[in-house]
Amino acid sequence: MTHVCEVQHPLIQHHLATLRNKTTPPDEFRRLVQRLAVLLAYEATRDLSTEMCEIETPLTRTIARRLSQRIGLVPILRAGLGMVDPLLDLLPQAEVWHLGLYRDEATALPVEYYSKLPDYSPVDVALILDPMLATGGSAIAALQALRRWGVPKLKVLSLIAAPEGVSSVTAACPEAQLFVCAIDVELNSRKFIVPGLGDAGDRSFNTPQ
């Protein structure tokens, strides 16, 4: 069964309040996305594997631990781009692989227009980055692409999610782990998350519709 973790933390609730506010300007919106991505990643990376290594401190030699897996960051274009830099700060050796997906407004189904995944040497862990999990269609498409690549451990990181999207991902990709800052009430008739925060891509990049 898909592991679903709604990360409960006062800092997350505080920053989400400002992120959701329609008067928050794009520059502050981007900063808040980055802060929330870091808090989410802390929980999502809790089970990463490490290996022992020997290092020399200013005083002596000692045994320490370092990450031992190849980690891939997979932002879903374009809104997922806002979550990449803060995670690269935490995981500077991570690989970044891009997937371009958009939602067909007539059908609410995902349409893939770009993929930068090779057909060889998959990473050990993939973190799919998408601020909003609405219908779950884009996340499922990304998970299926990574599954075809052969990635053994799959995780989705979203700032907010709709119950419908969580259920869809759970049903379609039972091996995946899902980490969100908040699961909202519902999708409206236009398949937008309610109460939500609007369109994360438009708000991040100052391109109002």
Tell me, yes or no, if 199 is annotated catalytic. Answer: yes
Of the candidates 102, 35, 45, the one whose C-alpha atom is nearest the C-alpha of residue 68 is: 45
Point out the catalytic residue in the list 47, 66, 89, 107: 107
Q: What are phi and psi of 129, to 5 degrees?
A: -115, 115
Q: Which pair of tokens denotes residue 104?
A: 């067909």
Tell me, yes or no, if 89 is annotated catalytic. Answer: no
Point out the catalytic residue in the list 103, 124, 147, 170: 103
Round to whole Å and give the CA distance between 181 and 170. Answer: 17
Tell me, yes or no, if 170 is annotated catalytic. Answer: no
- Left if phi > 0, otherwise alpha if psi is -120 to 50, otherwise beta: which for 55? beta
Tell me, yes or no, if 104 is annotated catalytic. Answer: no
For tokens 């374009």, name the residue: 78
Round to whole Å and give the CA distance between 37 and 164. Answer: 22
Active site residues: 103, 107, 199, 202
